[in-house]
Chain A
Amino acid sequence: MTATLALVFGLAVLVVRRRSLAIALVGAQSLAIGVAAFGHDGELVVAGIVLAVKAVALPALLLAVMRRTREPRLVAAAAGPLVRLAGAGAAAGLAVAFTPDLGTGDLHAERAAVALVVVGIAIVVARRPALFQLLGLIVAENGLSLLAVSVPGGLSYVIELGALLDLALVVVVASFFTRRIHMELGTGDTDLLRTLRD
């Protein structure tokens, strides 16, 4: 159930137009995975910290960034939502097909996790606004969290907290970038960042 929900939220980020809705979807996805972590092996305190940061703090930060980077108009997508969905679905299906049974005992969660990492990459590739690309990074990381929850005995808390710290660092730095890009270009459309070519 959690795995399916997380995958649906991830696919929705690929197609929605509004940044606020996309942030809410990623927050909900983090919440679903975070709640599931409480039901598995591992430290409850660590699960609580991960849940608080990923489902509350990071979405709140991204909403603050969004408010400070008002878009004059919606950034047009390079491809329509159905094309994006079909492309990401095909790539995710291919990745799942090539992934063997990893041995967690929950094949559905394994496949959903791998698909979610691919969907995160697809969001970065297919969505032009900087904030959406940042959300793509978080979706990919949520895919890893989903798989980590399924590890028998749980992952070490050092890895979980370290990965969380790294994610928070990347999101904070990327938020600086998002604001700066908006200041420089007047929009967060990364398609305009294409001057460096050989």
Chain B
Amino acid sequence: MTELAVATPLVALAGGALTALARTPREADHANVLAAIVTALVALALAVAAIAGETASTRWLYVDAASGVFLAVIAVVGLCSALVSPIYLRTSGRSWFTAARSRRAYYAALYAFWAALLAIPISANLAVVWLVVEATTGASALLVSFSGRREALEAGWKYLVLTTLGLSVALLGIVILAIAQAGLGAHGLHALGWDALTAAPLPEEETLLAFVLITAGLATKIGWAPVHNWLPDAHSEAPAPISALLSAALLPTVVLVAWRVKDALAPPAADAVFIGFGLASMLIAVPFLWRSLPFKRLLAYSSLEHMGVIALGLGIGGRLAIAGVLLHVCGHALAKALGFYAALPLLRADPDAASQPLAGVAAPTATAIGISLVALSGLPPSPLFVSELLIALGGIEAGETAVVAVAIVALALGFLGLLHALLTGLLDEPRRRSRRHRSYRPIIALTCTLGGGLLALTAASALLPGSALVEGLL
């Protein structure tokens, strides 16, 4: 298992190198397909082993059931994003790179980003995780601004500066932990390992300060309110496959880091901090979900809401809420990725949809958007309905009735907002008719695959509470 864990991010990096060797755009696209499939297979093999109960814990690697769930999400979303990338590149037109370099630059950044994402859930050390999370920023900022448009530059710059500053604050917390560990006689890299931090009798005041700084810093990368300013801009301006990776893979993966920090340091106020971020994110997202926003911005604010739900579940803790969190991470990933992939044919048929609300969407795209928004709004049979129910029940069981009441009101309002956007998009007159036949086969295939995945998650959700997977994480 250790070898597989080491190989997983390396295979992704090798995939990036393979695409860079291609001499023509067509060769690069073919190399991308091969690299994506191999990377996803290796990552999924590791994920399946971890979910089945195998673990690994070395100085550098830490693989548990949570690693498995997040690896599976990153593998699936990464694979789908890589496979739809050639469609984006064929139709995107302008890029901030020259035509000759455009594809190679895109794939190099994509695979570097994917490799870093795959390394996060299996890193055994807080400092190493920080380094990898920071490394995602450079690659993904380039991808956010890939189109080279003024708005994309604005979004990429904001993302780069705000998340780097946030991670500086997190690093301040990590250095404070290193000082506290040194005071206990633990020096070097190993002192910041998850196991070492859990076992150390760290001084309370410094631990709380470090926890607050690290969580606040990570919150800027996750996009938890009120430090979410970059999120709607980056998600709406990035190429659709990258928006999917940002929203469905990056954000929850950084939540995993925050979760591990919370478990390792366990300061008294940790649950309250998570619940606070959760409720703030859900409540701040609501007014934006009610507004007539362009489709990708609407999905971005939905990400804010769903990262809030995950934070709430982690803050509540316990058997039911943790089961809900795992299900929510997976369900949100599939539904959100499908929504962003649907933006590809949507923007191709109606470029005005980049800056205006949905209106009169063509049938295959409308189906994908419909499934995505219905699932994200938490309407049965969406797995997000089950996960939100599990988190609410977990909250009631933990005695957090008032918190659950506020969360349910926020979720209900968010549900109505997304439903309104969906109905408007399907029933309004189209802004323009497509002049020539477009192939909708990719989005139909993705709708069937990811829609089927959502139903499978709902079916599997009954087995989750009380399972060995969840019990192992308590």
Main secondary structure of the interface of A (DSSP, over half): helix
Q: Contacts A124-B161, A144-B175 given; indicate if A181 touches B288 (C-beta within 8 A).
A: no
Known: A143-B168, A144-B168. 16 other contacts (CB 8 A): A100-B205, A117-B168, A147-B175, A147-B176, A147-B179, A148-B178, A151-B175, A156-B127, A166-B134, A170-B164, A174-B157, A177-B160, A181-B153, A193-B154, A196-B154, A198-B291
A137/B151 in contact, CB under 8 A: no
Q: A70 contacts the other chain (Cβ, under 8 Å)?
A: no
- Give the one of A100, A130, A136, A173 with max B CB within 10 A: A173
Q: Pick 19 A–B contacts, CB within 8 A, sort by A.
A: A102-B179, A102-B180, A103-B182, A104-B179, A133-B161, A140-B168, A141-B168, A144-B175, A151-B178, A156-B188, A158-B127, A162-B128, A163-B171, A166-B135, A177-B141, A177-B145, A177-B156, A194-B154, A196-B151
B165/A140 in contact, CB under 8 A: yes
A151 to B128, CA, bound (A): 18
B160/A169 in contact, CB under 8 A: no
B183/A152 in contact, CB under 8 A: yes
A158/B138 in contact, CB under 8 A: no
Chain A nearest Cβ from B377, distance in angstroms: 20
Q: Contacts A117-B172, A137-B165, A177-B145 given; indicate if A170 touches B293 (C-beta within 8 A).
A: no
Q: B254 contacts the other chain (Cβ, under 8 Å)?
A: no
A194 to B96, CA, bound (A): 20
Q: Contacts A162-B128, A184-B153, A198-B232 given; indicate if A173 touches B142 (C-beta within 8 A).
A: yes
Contact with B along A149-192 (1 / 0, CB 8 A): 01111111011001101100110111011001100110000100
- Give the one of B158, B179, B192, B205 with max A CB within 10 A: B179
List residues 106-154 of chain A with CB under 8 A from any CB of chain B: 114, 117, 120-121, 124, 130, 133, 136-137, 140-141, 143-144, 147-148, 150-154
Report chain A residues within 8 Å CB of B155: 196
Q: Contacts A103-B183, A124-B165, A177-B145 given; indicate if A155 touches B153 (C-beta within 8 A).
A: no
List residues 320-358 of chain B with CB under 8 A from any CB of chain A: none
A144 to B165, CA, bound (A): 12
B237/A102 in contact, CB under 8 A: no
Interface size on B, residues (CB 8 A): 51
A136 to B168, CA, bound (A): 11
Q: B263 contacts the other chain (Cβ, under 8 Å)?
A: no
Chain B nearest Cβ from A178, distance in angstroms: 9
A170 to B163, CA, bound (A): 11
Q: A20 contacts the other chain (Cβ, under 8 Å)?
A: no
B127/A162 in contact, CB under 8 A: yes
B157/A153 in contact, CB under 8 A: no
**Of B157, B179, B233, which contacts A181 at CB under 8 A?**
B157
A153/B182 in contact, CB under 8 A: yes
A159/B151 in contact, CB under 8 A: no
Chain A nearest Cβ from B291, distance in angstroms: 7
A71 to B273, CA, bound (A): 44
Q: B387 contacts the other chain (Cβ, under 8 Å)?
A: no
A148 to B148, CA, bound (A): 38
B134/A152 in contact, CB under 8 A: no
Report chain B residues within 8 Å CB of A174: 157, 160-161
B165/A121 in contact, CB under 8 A: yes
Contact with A along B167-211 (1 / 0, CB 8 A): 011011001101110110001110010000000000101100100
A120/B179 in contact, CB under 8 A: no
Q: A4 contacts the other chain (Cβ, under 8 Å)?
A: no
Q: Contacts A103-B206, A140-B165, A184-B153 given; indicate if A163 touches B183 (C-beta within 8 A).
A: no
